Structure 1
Amino acid sequence: MKEDKSHIVLDNILYSCVDQKQRGSEQFVHEHALGYVISGETHLITNDGVKIFKAGSIGLVRRNQLLKSIKVPPPGGEFKSLNIFLNQNFLRRYSTEHKIDPVGKYTGEYMRILSPDPFLKGYFDSLIPYFDHHEQLKSSLGELKTNEAIELLLRHDKNLKDFLFDFSEPYKINLEAYMNQNYMYNVPAAQFARLTGRSLASFKRDFEKIFNASPGQWLQQKRLSEAYYQISEKGRKPSDVYLDVGFENLSHFSYTFKKVFGVAPSML
């Protein structure tokens, strides 16, 4: 069991409980996630817009995508959610054991809010006592609960087979267009490489040919330029901008901004 004040992790199951609005730190989705919002709302932000998962909703988020998340507690209460991560090794083993035929590349929605389902709701209700009472979830039981989640998803909608069992990796895409659309996501170069269908070495080589700069140099300049525009032209506060453009903390953003532009962002 891994625990802090707001998150408890039992194997591949994550319980979140926060009493104030909180941005998620992870911006790259490594594995499929099945989630249930117990109270409050989850806002998932991508280049396509914002998808809101309200209290009581159950949803699926597909792997290999960039997004920003915001946990929003209800007035005077706490945000609570449960997420089960369905990793590729487990799904491959499940598909082999159940003789599921290979599927083609999935082309549907990357985030789905599922229709109400008493079986899925009951499944999540069965997990809550482990977190309310801090009971250790044994690995063997964790596997059974993950297996149960997959069974219930396929019972809910047999077409989810295509969502779950597409094991293909991202193919090589236009690097320039992708980076100009996604520079504001704070993820390592290795993740950008993966999402554009390249090895890290190939990504860096292609990147420098296109932008005449290293990924780190270009990302910093691109993020700072956007921040300058948002503050000077749109009148936004530095504290409201730095996370949106891809910086991790305000002090580092302010220091870097002043070093490049010769003036603190708060002085614009």
Structure 2
Amino acid sequence: MEYQAKYITEDIKLSSYDDKFFKSDIMFDHHMLIWFISGETKIVQADATYFFKKGDIFLIPRNQLATIINYPKEGQPHKTVVMHLSTERLRHFYAKLNVKPKASELQKIYVFNSHPLLESCLASLVPYFEMQELPEDIASLKITEAVTILRTIEKGIDNLLANFEEPGKIDLADYMERNFMFNLPLEKFGYLTGRSLTTFKRDFSKAFNCTPQRWLTRKRLELAHYQFVEKKRKAIEVCYETGFENLSHFSYAFKKHFGYAPTELLNRLSSNN
């Protein structure tokens, strides 16, 4: 994978992937505002799937689980301008305002398509990536401009951006049943359910009478089998969207669990049609 990243500051970067595709399971520590220059992205969350292309602008809230697959398109690399809206910067921004965010609701990805105000703000960053160094105050002004635009065009965005609470303790079993397909360290799952790693493992054992890794593998393989049989999905798609990192490991685990490889199942399903 040919990956390049140019940073104006640690919060603003120009990201580029030149290979066939790049996949990652991510939990974002900061809100991320993204503008597409070229390429395509597929973002899979527990309850929604998004597709983004050249010109699109979207905001991913922090502490959200997602599988992200980036593709080059039409001979062009997957290239984006990424702005991290960190808690530190947002605290500084909102310190001057009398904003009381409402209780956090189910967070979603905010889609702005090619909104002219946001596009102008983010496109203006591109020339700065050719500079050796950018004064910190200019970067701060650009982030302030972006947040101000978001507050202008998206009603209720303060409930997201001005909410600095950390995840509280929630129902572990319900959360894991909805998010098992994301391949993250157990420490991250613990954090998102409001637990230390030790407490997470203890509560997990009580809830499922099984170790986390064994349960996660079984659930992911069962979901993969369902995707093959009921959704007629391709092996490469199912592999990456059910929490596996490569096709060979997925095929090995699938055959070990079910007694036949994904290719055997797909051939059987194809012959029955």
Q: TM over 0.5: same fold?
A: yes
- Residue 201 of structure 1 is matched in structure 2 by 198
Q: Structure 1 137/61 Cα, relative in aligned 2: closer, same or farther at 3 Å?
A: same
Q: What stretches of structure 1 of length at least 5 have no aligned partner?
A: none
Residues matched between the structures, number? 263
1:24 aligned counterpart, secondary structure: strand
Residue of structure 2 in register with 1:105 after alignment: 103
Q: What residue in structure 1 maps to residue 158 of structure 2?
A: 161
The one-character-per-residue Cα deviations of 1:39-91 (angstroms, maximum 9, x if unpaired) are 34333222222223332222211111112223344434333211111111221
Q: Distance in 1 between matches of 2:233 and 2:55?
A: 34
Q: Tell me the secondary structure at the aligned position of residue 2 of structure 2.
A: coil
Q: Contact 1:243–1:249 at 8 Å: present in 2 too?
A: yes
Once residues 17 and 149 of structure 2 are traced to their aligned partners in structure 1, the CA distance between those partners, rounded to angstroms, is 28
- How large is the RMSD of aligned CA atoms in angstroms? 2.9
Q: Which consecutive unaligned segments of at least 5 residues does structure 2 have?
A: 266-273
Per-residue deviation, residues 124-173 of structure 1 (Å, max 9, x unmatched):
12211233x36444545433332332233234446322221111233333
TM-score, normalised on structure 1? 0.82
Aligned twin of 1:114: 112
Which moves more between the two structures, 41-50 or 29-38? Answer: 41-50
Kindly indicate whether the alpha-carbon contact (under 8 Å) linking 1:23 and 1:68 is maintained by their aligned counterparts in 2.
no
Write the deviation string for residues 3-31 of structure 1: whole angstroms up to 9, x where unpaired: x9333142122323335652431422221
Label 1:84 to 1:257 Cα distance change in 2 as closer, same or farther (>3 A). same
Match of 1:39 in 2: 38
Question: Given the alignment, which residue of 164, 177, 181 partners 2:178?
Answer: 181
Per the alignment, in what secondary structure is the counterpart of residue 37 of structure 1?
strand
Shift of the 41–75 alpha-carbon distance from structure 1 to 2, 3 Å rule, reads: same
Query: Which residue is equivalent to 2:270?
Result: none
* CA pair 211-141 structure 1, distance change in 2 beyond 3 A: same
- TM-score, normalised by the number of residues in structure 2: 0.81
- 1:166 partner SS: coil
SS for the counterpart of 2:166 is coil
Q: Does structure 2 retain, via aligned residues, the 8 Å contact 1:117–1:156?
A: no
- Residue matched to 2:140: 143
**CA gap 1:72/1:140 in 2 versus in 1, 3 angstroms:** same
